[in-house]
Amino acid sequence: TVNPGRFLKRRDLDGRIAWRQRADLVLLDANPLQDISATRLINAVLANGRLYDRAALDAMRRDVEAKAAK
């Protein structure tokens, strides 16, 4: 993940998982390098400094589905 930060000349903020670095992460329950279908096994998401656990992601999905059904 360091290369995009280098390319965008934003190494001071992007490209590393460390204190005071920006990072959007998708945490999986399995290794996608062993089985690409593991990309569907999302445990949590860290986006814009906020952690969305599995319960929060499920609630968001239900909300979107309900709105789409109207």
Q: How many H helices and E strands in the chain?
A: 2, 3
0.85 exceeded by pTM: no
pLDDT of the residue at 66: 97
Give per-residue pLDDT as tens, 5-63. Answer: 678 776 666 666 777 777 788 999 999 999 999 999 999 999 888 899 999 999 999 99
Please check whether residue 25 is in contact with residue 14, taking contact to mean a CB–CB distance below 8 angstroms: no
Nearest to 23, CA basis, from 50, 55, 60, 56: 50
pLDDT of the residue at 24: 81
Q: What is the DSSP letter of 24?
A: -
> Which residues, in sequence order, are CB contacts of 65 under 8 Å at separation 6+?
none
